[in-house]
Amino acid sequence: SMPQDVILAQYREQGRLMWRGFTLDQFTNQCFSNDLDLGRGRQMPIHYGSRALNYHTISSPLGTQIPQATGVAYKMKLDAAAAAAKGDSSHDPGVAVCYFGDGCASTTDFHAGLNFAATLSAPVIFFCRNNGYAISTSVEDQYAGDGRIPTRSTKFLPNFWGSHTIFQECPPPLPYPSAAGVCTR
C-alpha cells in the first residue's frame, strides 16, 4: 500500500502498521494506555490507530470496518473528482484497504459494505483472511457450505461485487501443541 492509502484493520495487522512507521514504543504505550498513547488511553488494548499513518483505529465489534471502508473509499473518490474538476490531474487519492477475518462474512456489515462498494464503485480493497475459524466457531458450524470464501485456494478476484476482494486461506491448524500448523503464507 502507498502512504495515501487508508487502512481499516482488524486484529492481525500490526505488521502493516509497523511497516508504516508505528514504533514498538507506540505499541507498548497503547497497550498500557499511558499518557504517551496516541489515543490517550481511550481505547482497549490492541485497538491501535494512527491518523498520521492513515490507519483507522480498530473497532471491537467484528465487521464494522467493512462499511466504514466503503465510506472512506467513496470520500476518496469524491475528493479525486473534485480535484479533477479543478484541473488537478496529479491528485492520487489512493484506495481504502479493509482487512477482516472469515467470521465477518457472516455479518450484515459484510453484505452491506460490499454492496455499497459495488453500487458506488468505491476504490476499496477487501482482504478476507480465512483461517477456518470465526474467532471460535468452525466453518462447519458457521456456514451451510464448506466455509471456503469463495473457493478452496488463495485468489484475487477483481470486481467481486464491484470492488477488489482478496481471499487468503491458511491451512487448518494442527492439534495443539504442534507448531507445524502455523500459516506460512
Q: In the prediction, which pLDDT does 180 show?
A: 38
Above 60 in pLDDT, residue 164? no
Q: What is the mean pLDDT of residues 80-90?
A: 90
Distance CA 181, CA 185 (A): 12
The span from the CA of 18 to the CA of 131, in Å, is 23
- How far apart CA 133 and CA 59 sit, in angstroms, is 19
> By the 8 A CB rule, do 135 and 94 touch?
no
Q: Is the pLDDT of residue 117 over 80?
A: yes
Question: CB–CB of 30/24 below 8 Å?
Answer: no
Taking CB atoms within 8 Å and a gap of at least 24, the contacts of 71-77 are 71/116, 72/6, 72/8, 72/96, 72/124, 73/6, 73/117, 73/120, 73/122, 73/123, 73/124, 74/116, 74/120, 74/122, 76/6, 76/122, 76/123, 77/120, 77/121, 77/122, 77/123
Residue 171 has pLDDT above 60, yes or no: no
Tell me the one-letter amino acid at 39.
G
Mean pLDDT taken over the chain: 78
Bridge partners of 167, per DSSP, are: 128, 155
What mean pLDDT comes out for the span 26-54?
90
pLDDT at residue 28 is higher than 60? yes
Rounded to whole angstroms, how far apart are CA atoms 42 and 1? 28
More confident residue, 153 or 137: 137
**pLDDT at site 101:** 84
By percentage, how much of the chain surpasses pLDDT 70? 72
- pTM of full prediction above 0.85: no
Whole-number pLDDT of residue 9 = 92
Range ranked top by mean pLDDT from 39-43, 102-106, 177-181 = 39-43
Res. 111: pLDDT tops 80: yes
